[in-house]
Amino acid sequence: MALLGGCASRPESGFLSAVSQPATGANEHTLLVATTRERDSRPGTLFNGERSGALDYATITVSVPPRHADGQVEWPSSPPGNPQTDFVVRQAAYIDGEKAFVRTLNSRLSAQPRGKRKVLVFIHGYNTMFAEGLYRFTQIVQDSGSPAVPVLFTWASQGSLTGYVYDTNSATVARDDLEHTLRLIAASDADEINIVAHSMGNWVTVEAIRQIKISGDTRGAHKVGVVVLAAPDIDIDVFKSQMRRIGRPRKPFFIVISKDDQALRISRFIAGDKGRLGADSNVQELAAMGAIVVDLTTLKGTDSLSHGKFAQLASVAPQLERVLQAGIEADRGATPRSQTAVGGTLASFITLPIRIINAPRQIVAGQ
């Protein structure tokens, strides 16, 4: 707890004021936002950590500095920041209602040819302020080079170390709204919907998928592509129960775990010493449920708690996809070859052979 409390000043307000002057060599990304957060009237803030009575929407363009380092968010030391060295907002506007949100989404999708119109949805975790979720997702979009239209689903996290119970309840409140957001996207002109959830955001995500399944109305479900559950802060038994109702997914979920995740150890302590899915799972059991487990335990994290390692995967996403596809094709209908990646870097994970244990298969980064 003391370690968490030692974090630097955080972007509670003012960091999202639009910067008019662009930086030479900076990259800009426009994100759509669907949120259960309350609007905040303070300049440069947009949304706070209080719960709104209804879904709200926005569109925000974020600039990434020319010397951006993969896996990092270059935070301004003071608002609104310098576009030459920091992540900054260039434009921001609220969207008036879900119909306008879908129109905006379809307009963005129309820039891609039919058959390749993809949406990437990100759901953040516990103790996350609005600006933090926005900039983290921008970093993922930047590092992955994804051509998909990015949609941030941001629920009403209090952004407070002591707000775990509040955040848990906010995540539960948000599951209906995430389900509705996914249905809106599925009914849009999108051809494929990929989902990345982090930490407590996995609880919201898996619950929303479960609700879609048990509703019987699975229109658009065929559009769901990759689902990445990164450092999932879910009770293992709860996840098993959810998956029993969801059933074996059409495409295997990717579950990114790390056994040295200190934040999940704290979560386990709060939960009465009940294991969390992202820290100490039985990978063989998860594989049997239809999951591909990516174990990043030996990868050195860029944060002190080793809770944000998933963000480092973004820069190698294209290579990772090719490696996975090669592995899947290589052992289709044949006995898997057992090969092991060595070293503790993502580069070694991508460039060296991987160990294929079973089908669905476990992938281990470093040994």
Give the residue ranges of DSSP H helices in the chain. 2-5, 98-109, 130-144, 164-186, 201-215, 236-246, 262-270, 283-288, 317-330, 346-351
Residue type, 103: R
Helix (H, G, I), strand (E, B) or coil at 150: strand
Query: What percentage of the chain has pLDDT greater than the value 90?
Result: 51
Please give the average per-residue pLDDT across 235-260, as a whole number.
83
Please give the average per-residue pLDDT across 229-251, as a whole number.
85
110 close to 189: Cβ distance less than 8 angstroms:
yes
The tens digit of pLDDT for each residue in 22-64 reads 999 999 999 999 999 999 999 999 999 999 989 999 999 999 9
Name the band, by pLDDT with cuts 50, 70 and 90, for residue 290. confident
Per-chain mean pLDDT for the chain = 80
CA atoms within 13 A on the CB side of 91: 9
Q: State both tokens at 141.
A: 């979009």
Name the band, by pLDDT with cuts 50, 70 and 90, for residue 279. low
Token pair 């129309």 is found at: 110
Residues 6+ apart with CB under 8 A from 204: 123, 153, 155, 171, 172, 174, 175, 178, 197
Measured CA to CA, the distance from residue 52 to residue 56 in angstroms comes to 8
Measured CA to CA, the distance from residue 90 to residue 6 in angstroms comes to 30
Of 6-10, 16-20, 32-36, 292-296, the poorest mean pLDDT is in 6-10
Return the closest-CA partner of residue 19 out of 85, 82, 94.
Answer: 82
Query: What percentage of the chain has pLDDT greater than the value 70?
Result: 72
74 close to 87: Cβ distance less than 8 angstroms:
yes
Confidence check: pLDDT of 255 > 80: yes
The phi-psi region of residue 71 (left if phi > 0; otherwise alpha if psi is between -120 and 50; otherwise beta) is left
45 close to 127: Cβ distance less than 8 angstroms:
no
Q: State both tokens at 127.
A: 């103790």
Residues 6+ apart with CB under 8 A from 281: 236, 255, 257, 275, 293
Query: Which carries the bigger pLDDT value, residue 325 or residue 173?
Result: 173
User: Hey, which residues does 77 pair with through a beta bridge?
Assistant: none
Return the closest-CA partner of residue 291 out of 177, 188, 206, 180.
Answer: 206
Of 116-120, 132-136, 230-234, 256-260, the poorest mean pLDDT is in 256-260
Q: Name the pTM for this structure.
A: 0.84
In residues, how long is the chain? 367
Name the band, by pLDDT with cuts 50, 70 and 90, for residue 160. confident
Residue type, 4: L
Name the band, by pLDDT with cuts 50, 70 and 90, for residue 261. low
What is residue 366's predicted lDDT score, i.e. its pLDDT? 37
Of 90-94, 242-246, 326-330, 336-340, the poorest mean pLDDT is in 336-340
Q: State both tokens at 337.
A: 């070859």
Confidence check: pLDDT of 201 > 90: yes
Angle subtended at Cα 194 by Cα 257 and Cα 25, rounded to the nearest 5 degrees: 90
The tens digit of pLDDT for each residue in 121-137 reads 999 998 899 999 999 99
117 close to 151: Cβ distance less than 8 angstroms:
no
Return the closest-CA partner of residue 126 out of 248, 319, 308, 296.
Answer: 308
What is residue 239's predicted lDDT score, i.e. its pLDDT? 86
CA atoms within 13 A on the CB side of 232: 30
Confidence check: pLDDT of 178 > 90: yes
What is residue 253's predicted lDDT score, i.e. its pLDDT? 85
Query: Which carries the bigger pLDDT value, residue 227 or residue 39?
Result: 39
Return the closest-CA partner of residue 143 out of 340, 335, 319, 336.
Answer: 319
Confidence check: pLDDT of 72 > 80: yes
Helix then strand count (H, E) for the chain reads 10, 10
What is residue 244's predicted lDDT score, i.e. its pLDDT? 87
Range from 147-151, 262-266, 298-302, 314-318 that averages highest in pLDDT = 147-151
Residue type, 221: A
Measured CA to CA, the distance from residue 292 to residue 255 in angstroms comes to 6
What is residue 299's predicted lDDT score, i.e. its pLDDT? 65
Query: Which carries the bigger pLDDT value, residue 365 or residue 233?
Result: 233
197 close to 164: Cβ distance less than 8 angstroms:
no
